[in-house]
């Protein structure tokens, strides 16, 4: 029988990762970890390092709250529920509580008897069991299983089991850092990262990629193909502010589509089963039973993957994004189906009985139009194909007049393939002018908070926001955001940001500014500013222009972007392009 990695071995590496702020050191620590990991457990370790129990798109979630976890700690120790809650109030971290009292007598010892050392496979299976318990008696089953894991773990292991169960591990490891590690460990060279990343982008499963590499090395990547029911990481667009520059970026022939103000969806259909994934790779099928029904009525093909934009629709008019966000709920689904109906505007086809990712955009669009039977809900997006920029400008003005955000301009060249997970010049977004020198909003990740004063006393008065540097897999600060907030939004901020609080600067954050409270880079906001300027205190673009970074002047809060992951934030590279055009 092959050796299994003990959970205490894994958590020894977790401790090292928590202590470093260097991404290179993180990668070296992870390489050492994977060298010690049996091939059969590489996928499990990939998930656990990210604080997950499976691929991010899979439905299994632990769903554990503080009260249940505190009760499990009480069962696994000699402490009463009240004592555990008191320690929690003192420390603010149930993981620390579990670690602190783990050495004391466990009331379940007699029940479990002498146990072998806890392995990563046993912890993973226990957590998966917890996620699957449903119905009558499920609460007690979850409680007993979690208490059993805590009982068998050592002190440090108890800390991390609790944090994973609460979804609060947050070692500061991003998927891109993990992909660097896998490339270095199993192909011998971090330069092979692009091929490793492509396998991840078409599978959205870092555990699958890790396991294929562990068993077959570089050749294992060839086994990973597009599969209906497993989301493809969505292709993203670059941005332009001047229409005349389009021809510098695209070849002579291109298409222009309406950019709808809604939620992007990737829809997978296999026979009559439909799955809907958000831009964050979340399964949101249950929120849109009306779309599921309409897709089955519209598409007769057995296996397809399409992409589109869902837009709220009321009184004969398309509504804005914030109206649609009322559909994001666990309960009262049918009530909101009736209250906020939607239309889904499909714009791309990624699979029809076989992958279409390597086909040019015109071919994919033609297949989409041939496959779809439009109905009351399912439509093809409005599109024109042209070589004339003036035609594009007319189309843009028409879209804006009808209340939409702007347009997407897409290459129609033979190279216009679907580049999963990439932000390419094959797609360009052109949005309406906001009557400032920054003609487009940006999506930024919150990395810090500053205590409010006066009217904002007891709340956050401003937020430190950052752009994403994909090459380095870090977040670089670009502004201190303090305007645009309503009183209601200000009151919501502490509760919204609490899950992301960090005692020290996270390893993936590059900042010269010291906020009152650090946040792990996971929460995204939409921001509009007046212009971009050089800054001695911000770090976005600092490697490009010397000792100074780029800052957004007069930034204003526009809204929360719950539909985006932090890695979907506006990139440092985009910020630099916008700055150079100022």
pLDDT at 107: 44
pLDDT-derived band at 2 (thresholds 50, 70, 90) equals low
pLDDT digits (tens, 9 = 90+) for 281-295: 999 999 999 999 999
Coil vs helix vs strand at 271: coil
pLDDT at 439: 62
pLDDT-derived band at 110 (thresholds 50, 70, 90) equals very low
pLDDT-derived band at 247 (thresholds 50, 70, 90) equals confident
Give yes or no for a contact between 203 and 221, defined as CB atoms under 8 angstroms apart: no
**By mean pLDDT, which of 172-176, 248-252, 486-490 is the weakest?**
248-252
pLDDT-derived band at 101 (thresholds 50, 70, 90) equals confident
Torsion of CA 273, 278, 284, 285, to 10 degrees: -20
Report residue 468 as tokens.
Answer: 């994403």
- Per cent of the chain over pLDDT 90 is 65
pLDDT at 349: 98
**By mean pLDDT, which of 12-21, 239-248, 539-548 is the weakest?**
239-248
Three-class DSSP labels, 484-545: CCCHHHHHHHHHHHHHHEECCCCCCEECCCCCCEEEEEEEEEEEECCEEEEECCCCCCHHHH
pLDDT at 405: 80
Does residue 111 register a pLDDT over 80? no
Phi, psi of 97 (to 5 degrees): -60, -50
Per-residue pLDDT, averaged over 14-34, amounts to 92
Does residue 103 register a pLDDT over 70? no
Report residue 153 as tokens.
Answer: 């773990």
pLDDT-derived band at 1 (thresholds 50, 70, 90) equals very low
Does residue 124 register a pLDDT over 80? yes
CA distances from 379 to 219, 345, 348, 479, 487 (A): 41, 5, 12, 39, 39
Annotated ligand binding at 522? The verdict is no
pLDDT at 154: 93
Annotated ligand binding at 9? The verdict is no
Q: What is the mean pLDDT of the chain?
A: 90
Annotated ligand binding at 364? The verdict is no
Identify which has the larger pLDDT, 252 or 582.
Answer: 252
Q: Which domains does the chain have, with CATH numbers?
A: 7-51+172-223 (no CATH), 66-165 (1.10.3260.10), 236-431 (3.30.470.30), 442-581 (2.40.50.140)
Annotated ligand binding at 423? The verdict is yes
Does residue 113 register a pLDDT over 60? no
Per-residue pLDDT, averaged over 398-405, amounts to 83
Per-residue pLDDT, averaged over 375-401, amounts to 91
pLDDT at 351: 98
Does residue 64 register a pLDDT over 80? yes
Annotated active-site residue 259? The verdict is: yes
Does residue 311 register a pLDDT over 50? yes
Per-residue pLDDT, averaged over 139-164, amounts to 94
Does residue 377 register a pLDDT over 60? yes
Ranges 133-137, 143-147, 242-246, 576-580, most confident: 143-147
Identify which has the larger pLDDT, 102 or 145.
Answer: 145
pLDDT-derived band at 517 (thresholds 50, 70, 90) equals very high
pLDDT at 249: 86
CA distances from 317 to 293, 312, 374, 375 (A): 22, 9, 18, 17
Does residue 551 register a pLDDT over 80? yes
pLDDT-derived band at 434 (thresholds 50, 70, 90) equals very low
Report residue 303 as tokens.
Answer: 């296996």
pLDDT digits (tens, 9 = 90+) for 188-223: 988 999 999 999 999 999 999 999 999 999 999 999
pLDDT at 243: 79
Per-residue pLDDT, averaged over 11-16, amounts to 96
pLDDT at 54: 94
Per-residue pLDDT, averaged over 498-510, amounts to 90
Q: Which of 48, 3, 57 is nearest to 30 (CA)?
A: 48
Q: Which of 106, 211, 212, 259 is catalytic?
A: 259
Does residue 436 register a pLDDT over 50? no
Per-residue pLDDT, averaged over 111-139, amounts to 85
Per-residue pLDDT, averaged over 520-549, amounts to 89
Annotated ligand binding at 429? The verdict is yes
């Amino acid at each position: 029988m092959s050796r299994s990695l003990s959970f205490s071995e894994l958590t020894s590496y977790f401790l090292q990762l928590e202590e470093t702020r260097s991404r290179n050191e993180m990668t070296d620590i992870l390489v050492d970890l994977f060298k010690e990991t049996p091939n059969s457990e590489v996928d499990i370790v990939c998930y656990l390092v990210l604080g997950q129990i499976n691929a991010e798109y899979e439905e299994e979630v632990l769903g554990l709250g503080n009260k249940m976890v505190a009760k499990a700690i009480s069962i696994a120790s000699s402490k009463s529920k009240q004592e555990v809650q008191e320690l929690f109030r003192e420390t603010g971290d149930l993981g620390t509580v579990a670690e602190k009292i783990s050495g004391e007598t466990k009331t379940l010892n007699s029940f479990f008897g002498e146990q072998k050392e806890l392995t990563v496979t046993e912890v993973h299976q226990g957590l998966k069991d917890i996620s699957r318990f449903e119905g009558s008696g499920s609460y007690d089953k979850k409680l007993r299983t979690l208490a059993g894991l805590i009982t068998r773990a050592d002190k440090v292991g108890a800390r991390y089991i609790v944090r994973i169960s609460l979804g609060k591990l947050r070692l500061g490891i991003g998927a891109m850092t993990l992909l660097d590690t896998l490339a270095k460990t199993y192909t011998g060279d971090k330069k092979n990262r692009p091929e490793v990343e492509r396998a991840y982008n078409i599978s959205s499963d870092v555990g699958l990629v890790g396991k294929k590499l562990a068993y077959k090395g570089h050749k294992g990547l060839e086994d990973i193909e597009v599969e209906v029911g497993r989301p493809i990481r969505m292709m993203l667009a670059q941005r332009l502010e001047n229409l005349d520059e389009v021809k510098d970026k695209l070849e002579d022939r291109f298409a222009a589509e309406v950019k709808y103000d809604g939620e992007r969806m990737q829809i997978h259909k296999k026979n009559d089963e439909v799955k809907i994934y958000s831009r964050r790779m979340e399964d949101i099928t249950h929120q849109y039973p009306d779309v599921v029904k309409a897709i089955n009525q519209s598409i007769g093909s057995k296996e397809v993957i399409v992409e589109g934009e869902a837009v709220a629709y009321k009184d004969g008019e398309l509504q804005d994004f914030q109206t649609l966000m009322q559909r994001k709920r666990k309960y009262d689904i049918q009530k909101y189906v009736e209250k906020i109906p939607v239309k889904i505007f499909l714009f791309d086809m990624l699979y029809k009985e076989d992958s279409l990712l390597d086909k040019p955009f015109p071919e994919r669009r033609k297949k989409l139009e041939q496959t779809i039977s439009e109905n009351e809900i399912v439509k093809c997006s409005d599109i024109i194909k042209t070589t004339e920029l003036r035609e594009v400008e007319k189309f843009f003005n028409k879209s804006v007049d009808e209340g939409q955000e702007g347009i997407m301009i897409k290459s129609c060249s033979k190279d216009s393939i679907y580049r999963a997970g990439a932000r390419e010049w094959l797609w360009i977004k052109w949005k309406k002018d906001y009557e400032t020198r920054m003609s487009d909003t940006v999506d930024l990740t919150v990395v810090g908070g500053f205590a409010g004063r006066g009217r904002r006393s007891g709340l956050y008065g401003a937020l430190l926001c950052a752009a994403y540097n994909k090459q380095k897999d870090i977040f670089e600060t670009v502004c201190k955001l303090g305007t645009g907030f309503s009183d209601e939004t200000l009151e919501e901020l502490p509760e919204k940001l609490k899950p992301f609080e960090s005692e020290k600067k996270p390893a993936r954050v590059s900042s010269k500014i010291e906020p009152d409270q650090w946040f792990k880079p996971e929460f995204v906001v939409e921001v509009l500013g007046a212009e971009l300027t050089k800054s001695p205190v911000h770090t976005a673009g600092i490697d490009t222009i010397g000792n100074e970074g780029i800052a957004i002047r007069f930034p204003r809060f526009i809204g929360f972007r719950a539909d985006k992951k932090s890695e979907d934030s506006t990139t440092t590279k985009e910020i630099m392009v916008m700055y150079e055009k100022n």
